[in-house]
């Protein structure tokens, strides 16, 4: 079955540490996204990529970095510069340029600070 796989499901970060969240899709989608969700809040866009080797900052990119070396993969690194990283992180994909095309989401990674 096609879909988006996020790993790990739970992740703990120590102070000053960088951590990387994995997102893999086999839907052959060109566009991929990272969202952050705080308790009781909506989703906020961190980064998005419409094609391999290209990505753009969303609303809250500070303290995060991404790469898009392969179409299937869009890892997110939460750097030590992100002072409040505890949140639920969601990865999504879609076909770009078609406004009627829907988003497919992974099951999320819960990141907590030790």
Using the rule CB under 8 A, is 105 a contact of other proteins? yes
Residues 6+ apart with CB under 8 A from 114: 12, 13, 14, 15
Residues 73-102 that bind other proteins (CB under 8 A): 88, 90, 92, 94, 96-97, 99-102
What is the SS3 string spanning 72-109?
A: CECCEEECCCCCCCCEEEEEEEECCCCCCCCCEECCCE
State the DSSP code for 70. Answer: B
Length of the chain, in residues:
114
Stretch that binds other proteins, among 11-19, 27-35, 64-72, 76-84 (CB under 8 A): 27-35
Using the rule CB under 8 A, is 31 a contact of other proteins? yes
Q: Please report how close the Cβ of residue 58 comes to other proteins at its closest, in angstroms.
A: 7
**Contact set with other proteins (CB under 8 A):** 4, 31, 33, 35, 40-45, 48, 50, 58, 88, 90, 92, 94, 96-97, 99-108, 110
């Amino acid at each position: 079955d096609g879909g988006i796989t996020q790993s790990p499901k739970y992740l703990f970060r120590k102070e000053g540490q960088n951590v990387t969240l994995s997102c893999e899709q086999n839907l052959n989608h060109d566009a991929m996204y990272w969202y952050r969700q705080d308790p009781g809040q909506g989703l906020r866009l961190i980064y998005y990529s419409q094609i391999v080797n290209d990505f753009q900052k969303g609303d809250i990119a500070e303290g995060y970095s991404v790469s898009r070396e392969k179409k299937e993969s869009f890892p997110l690194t939460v750097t030590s510069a992100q002072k409040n990283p505890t949140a639920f992180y969601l990865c999504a994909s879609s076909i770009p340029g078609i406004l009627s095309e829907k988003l497919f989401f992974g099951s999320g990674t819960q990141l907590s600070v030790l």
